[in-house]
Amino acid sequence: MNAMDFIRKSIAFSVGAAAFSAEKLKQFADDMVAKGEMTSEEATKLVDDMTKRAEDEKKSLQDWMREQMTKMLQQVGAVEVARVEALEARLAALERRVAEHSGHAHGGEHAGHAHEGEAEEESVPPVSSA
């Protein structure tokens, strides 16, 4: 089992356990009301409070897992989507420049354009390294 499979199974287990726990909590609260040890309002408040706390913990766990996955992917050299998109945009700009240059070279329109070996006026922004 690789790391991604392990993480997926862990998340599935956590979600399943949370759903089971929520159902057990509601059952517990209902039993307490039936025994007269808690009012219906107290039971509702208990379930709502515990559900809110569980949601907060879930979000915290998701944030932590996202951070860990990002670190792990960076360690193995994975590329972020934003970096790939920036490189694609830069490549498209370069392709346009090459196409424009090729079109001008065949049409004999060199006036006002950079000659071979000279820098073009239009700049292609560098991609920051992360």
Model confidence over 41-78: pLDDT tens digits? 998 998 888 888 888 888 888 888 888 888 888 887 77
Cα separation, 26 vs 18, in Å, equals: 12
pLDDT at residue number 91:
96
Q: Could you tell me the two tokens for 43?
A: 């039971």
Model confidence over 86-98: pLDDT tens digits? 999 999 999 999 9
- Alpha carbon separation from 80 to 92, 109, 115 (Å, rounded): 19, 40, 36
Spatial neighbors of 46 by CB under 8 A, at least 6 apart, are: 25, 29, 38
Cα separation, 61 vs 50, in Å, equals: 16
Question: Of 85 and 6, which is predicted with more confidence?
Answer: 85
- Alpha carbon separation from 33 to 22, 45, 52, 88, 124 (Å, rounded): 17, 12, 21, 62, 69
State the pTM of this model: 0.44
Alpha helices, H only, the chain: 3-35, 40-75, 81-107
Model confidence over 97-121: pLDDT tens digits? 999 988 876 655 444 444 444 444 4
pLDDT at residue number 25:
84
